[in-house]
Structure 1
Amino acid sequence: MSKMKLWGRTVRLPRSRLLRVVMGFAFVGMGLVGFLPVVGFWMIPVGLAILSVDSPLARRFRRRAEVWVLRRYNRWKGRGVGSA
């Protein structure tokens, strides 16, 4: 099984590249109709994270988003640059 580390957690993914790509697009597609019950908009970032295992473009987007979120979180918590 493939593994993906995201925000400090390890997630196991299927070994098959085709299955990972199908799962990623399925999550993104179902996330686009997130206003419906059961599915939600949370599925879009999950699908992009799954796609980032095989796609350099999605990987770059995920890394930039992760850095952006962590910087915002640290600034909100008062742990920004220059604080002791």
Structure 2
Amino acid sequence: MGWITTLKSRTRQTLDRIRDRVPFGLRSVLGLLLIAGGLLGFLPILGFWMIPLGIAVIAIDLAQIWKSIRRHR
């Protein structure tokens, strides 16, 4: 169980770092590139782990978009 907690905390730290350092529109592009690289996961350097990370990065922007839509209603 300890490795799951470690994995969750490292993922949260990585997403926090991306949220703080990467501009709004560029995060979506980064997420799409991660997903595209994950689809090539059979290659030695790339991996299938990139797909969920790309989805998580895109979700950061989607959450902000939904909040702004809700505010304007």
Give the TM-score normalised by structure 1.
0.53
Q: Count residues in correspondence.
A: 51
1:55 corresponds in structure 2 to 62
Structure with more strand by fraction: 1
Structure 1 residue ranges without an equivalent (≥5): 1-5, 57-84
Structure with more helix by fraction: 2
1:4-43 CA distance string (max 9 Å, x none): xx83332201341111111100000010010011001010
1:61 corresponds in structure 2 to none
Structure 2 residue ranges without an equivalent (≥5): 1-6, 64-73
Cα root mean square deviation, aligned: 1.8
Query: What percent identity do the matched residue pairs reach?
Result: 43
Give the TM-score normalised by structure 2.
0.60
Distance in 2 of aligned mates of 1:29 and 1:20: 14
Highest RCO, 1 vs 2 (Cα 8 Å, sep ≥ 6): 2
Bigger-Rg structure (1/2): 1
